[in-house]
Structure 1
């Protein structure tokens, strides 16, 4: 078992080669605080760029706190995100994520696409960005 001080954060930003391209890796179980952290990072991005491209890599994703998804503040942040995201690539994760994303696509104003983990290079190409070393 890992000691708390060596625990890897659930959400980590992935550096990209474009100022208006943002990427995150999500591992483990998303808590309320993790969801708010992601939206906080995105809110900061929206202040700098009217439109962004987003890639989310789901490695070892174990779900999220359902009450986080249905909080009023989360709904407000989700609605605001729709105005600012041009392309949204979801890489990996459980099959239900891909199913839900494909069901929601016709109702969203953003261009969203899901990719298997083995197709991550295609996801980066699709959003027109590259991961860079820190």
Structure 2
């Protein structure tokens, strides 16, 4: 489905990075199961080219999510694939509870996970070993 000028921007958007095996995503506002499905599609494209990828997610102006998105079949499938393909996972910003969730669940997987405050975003890019591509004028 093609977007029109009047359609709202997706809540989960791709961040262009300097490495093919580094996927960057930005979450802005409130996201739905459709947003998550699109995000997992972006990740699947990276998995198709690289067995292992790193992931940086920047969360700005977080307004929550639809609970149905957590239990959606495609979301569960996407999470299972992520466990097989993601090597390092950096989260920048987000609600205050995000750090605690990552601290609890991060060690339960083989994925190296770390949370950074929004003010420390540059440290997150260094930790993940890449950078955001700046748009060309």
Whether TM exceeds 0.5 here: the answer is yes
- Equivalent residue number for residue 93 of structure 1: 94
- Equivalent residue number for residue 48 of structure 2: 47
Matched, 1:66 2:97: no
Summarize the alignment of residues 24-39 of structure 1 with structure 2, pairs less than 5 Å apart.
24-39=25-40
CA deviations on 1:26-71 (whole Å, 9 max, x unpaired) are 1010111001000011111101100111100000011111111112
Structure 1, gaps ≥5 residues long: none
Q: How far is the alpha carbon of 1:101 from its aligned partner?
A: 1.0
Q: How far is the alpha carbon of 1:15 from its aligned partner?
A: 0.8
Q: Distance in 2 between matches of 1:97 and 1:43?
A: 24
Q: Distance in 1 between matches of 2:44 and 2:113?
A: 19
Q: Distance in 2 between matches of 1:95 and 1:28?
A: 15
CA deviations on 1:62-81 (whole Å, 9 max, x unpaired) are 11111111122211210111
Segment of structure 1 superposing worse, 112-121 or 95-104: 95-104
Segment of structure 1 superposing worse, 75-84 or 5-14: 5-14
Summarize the alignment of residues 1-134 of structure 1 with structure 2, pairs less than 5 Å apart.
5=6, 7-134=8-135
Count of matched residue positions in the alignment of Structure 1 and Structure 2: 131
Q: Distance in 2 between matches of 1:71 and 1:98?
A: 24
Q: Distance in 1 between matches of 2:112 and 2:46?
A: 18
Residue 134 of structure 2 aligns to a residue whose secondary structure is coil
TM-score (norm 2): 0.90
